[in-house]
Amino acid sequence: MSQHVASAVPAPAFRPPAVAAVPAVSAGADARQARAGAPGGSPECPVLPVLGLDVRVPLVTGGETTYAALDYAASAPVLQRVWDEVAAYAPYYGSVHRGAGYLSQHSTALFEESRATVARFLGCREDDRVLFTRSTTDSLNLLASAVPEGTRVYVFESEHHAALLPWRGLHTTWLDAPRSPEQAVAALEERLHAEPAGPKLVCVTGASNVTGEIWPVRQLADAAHRHGALIVLDAAQLAPHHPVDIGELDVDWVAFSGHKLYAPFGAGVLAGRSDWLDAAEPYLAGGGASRSVVREADGGVEVEWQGGAARHEAGSPNVIGAYAVAAACRALDEAGFGRLVERERTLTARLLTALAEVPEVEVLSLFGAGSPGEAAESRVGVVSFVVEGWNSSHFAAALSAEYGIGVRDGLFCAHPLVRTLRGAGSEQRGGCGAGGTGGGGDLNAVRVSFGAGTPDEHVERFVRAVRELVRNGARWNYRTVDGRCVPEERPAAGEAADAAAGGRGEAPGGSDGGTARSRPEPGRVTVS
C-alpha cells in the first residue's frame, strides 16, 4: 500500500462561512475504504447525479426527446456535486498565490487543498508532485519538456495522439499494437532488454479510448523498472472509470483530464516523481514560476526559478478548475469506486451482449476477450464498432437526429490504432473528426461511452436504436457537409407536417411507426 502525501497544505487563516459548508476533504483512509466499496452499503449501485439529464433535443422526425449523452470518453457531463461545490465557492473566488486580500488567501488555501485531495485520490507517494495543467495533453507535453537529454522514449502505436506525439524530437520508438496484455508486456520487455543503457521513459495508456480495454499497467511498470526505464500512465480514460493508485501501479507519473472526470473547468493533472520535474526548465516561463528576476548592468536578465509545483505552473492558476477536479475526486471516492466499477461492468456486459446479437455489428477489440461478460471485465465503458453497410458518420448522425443519442464517430485521435484494428494500410489518411466518403471516412468507427452518471435508459435506448437502424435503415436523408454527416433540411411546411405525423414525436422504439411522405429510401447519404 502506498503512503499518502503528508499534506503541507497551509490552513486558511479563516474561511467565509458559506465556504465552510463545502464538504471537507475526506481523510485518506476513509476515502480508500469508500473506494473499495463500503461493505454492507446499499446493494443498489449508485448512478451519480450529473447535469443535463433533463435536456430535451429536437428529433429530425418531429418532436423531441431527452438527450442521451453517450460520449463520456470525449467529455463527461458535469457531476451535480462538482457544480454545486463550484457554485458555493464562486462568490469567494480570488487570485491564487499573489494576493494579500482575504479571498486571495482563501482561494490559495483551496487551491493547495485541491492539490492534496488529488494526491490522495491517486494514492501519491510522500515526495510525489501534483501539478495542475490544462489537460492530459498538456500534462504529457509538460513531462516531455522535462525529459533529460538523451532519454529514449517507448510508446505503443495504440496510444491516443496525446501520448504518441509529445515525444517528437526525442529518440522515440513505436511498438506495434499488441494483441493481448501478455504480448504487450513481452514486447516491451524484449525491446527494453535490447536497448543500450541510459535514461528511458515508457508511456502507456491505462484504458484505450478506442476499445475501452484496460492495459496491464502494473506489469508494464514492472517490466519498465526491471530495465531501468521510468513509466508515465495516460489515465485519461482509466481514472474516470477505475481507481488509479500511483503507488500500487508503481508508475512514475500519471496524467488525466478534469473534463473526462466530470469536472470540465479547464484543469488537468500531472502527478508523480519530482526529480525530472525539479531539474527541468519551467514548462512555461512567466510569473509564478519565477522567484526573482533581475535586470543586470550588461543588459542581461538573471532569473531564479521556483522549485516545487510552482516551477511548472506559471501564470495565474486555474483555481476553479483545480477545485472542480478535487470535488470530482471526492465525489467518486465517497460514492465508492468499487460499486461504480461494478455497475459500469454490468452496463458494459449488457451492451456488448446486445451488440453481439446483431451480426452486422463488429465491435473493435485489440485483445479480443471471449464472451461479452468476460470482455466487460477488462474494459471500461468505452465501446467502438462498425456496422456492415453503413458509413459510421451516417450511423452516428442517425443516432443523434432520430434518437437524441450523442456518440462520437471518427478515428478518435488514435489513427494508427484504428488503422490496425480496421486492417487498413498505413498510407491511408483520415481526419480526427468524421469523414463522409473516401479518405479516413472509410476507416471511421462509432464510439459509445458512458460512466457513473449514465442512466440504464440511455444504454437501453442506444441498443434499441442500433437494432432499429440496422433492421429498418435510417428514417431520414443525410448529406455530408464539411466532412460531417448531417440530416437533410426539413421539408417545406406541408411536407413537414406529414413527416411529423410519420415520426412519433419521440425517439422511436419497438416497431417502425408510420411512413412520412418525405421518408427517404433508408440510409441514403448524399455528398454535397
| Residue 229 near ligand PLP by CB under 6 A | no
Residue 209 binds ligand PLP (CB under 6 A): yes
Q: Which residue has the cell 501478455?
A: 182
Largest interatomic CA distance in the chain: 84
Looking at the Cβ atoms of 136 and 420, the one nearer to ligand PLP is: 136
136 binds ligand PLP (CB under 6 A): yes
Q: Which stretch binds ligand PLP (CB under 6 A): 196-204, 231-239, 295-303, 318-326?
A: 231-239
How far apart are the C-alpha atoms of 87 and 237, rounded to whole Å? 26
Q: Is 391 in the site for ligand PLP (CB under 6 A)?
A: no
Q: Which residues contact 461 (CB under 8 A, 6 or more apart)?
A: 68, 403, 404, 405, 507, 509
DSSP for residue 37: -
Alpha helices in 365-480 (DSSP H): 372-377, 392-403, 415-422, 456-472
Looking at 65, 117, 211, 257, which residue binds ligand PLP (CB under 6 A)? 257
Q: Is the dihedral of CA 150, 154, 157, 159 positive or negative?
A: negative
236 or 329: CB nearest ligand PLP: 236
Rounded to the nearest whole angstrom, what is the least distance from the CB of residue 75 to ligand PLP in the complex? 8
Taking the least distance from each CB to ligand PLP, the nearer of 31 and 414 is 414
CB of 261 to ligand PLP, least distance (A): 10
Rounded CA-CA distance 176/182 in Å is 14
By CB under 6 A, is residue 164 in contact with ligand PLP?
no
Rg over CA atoms, the chain: 25
518 binds ligand PLP, rule: CB under 6 A: no
Q: How far is the CB of 378 from ligand PLP (least distance, A)?
A: 16
Whether the Cβ atoms of residue 412 and residue 437 lie closer than 8 Å to each other: no
Whether the Cβ atoms of residue 392 and residue 386 lie closer than 8 Å to each other: yes
Contact pick of 160, 200, 379, 394 for ligand PLP (by CB under 6 A): 160
Query: For ligand PLP, which stretch binds (CB under 6 A), given 100-108, 133-141, 337-345, 487-495?
Result: 133-141
- Judged by CB, which is closer to ligand PLP: 108, or 209? 209
**Cβ atoms within 10 Å of 397's Cβ, excluding its own:** 25
Does residue 135 belong to the site contacting ligand PLP (CB under 6 A)? yes
Q: Name the segment binding ligand PLP (CB under 6 A); options: 20-28, 158-166, 309-317, 350-358.
A: 158-166
Mark out the alpha helices in 336-451 (DSSP H runs): 337-356, 372-377, 392-403, 415-422
Which positions lie near ligand PLP, rule CB under 6 A? 135-137, 160, 162-163, 205, 209, 234, 236-237, 257, 259
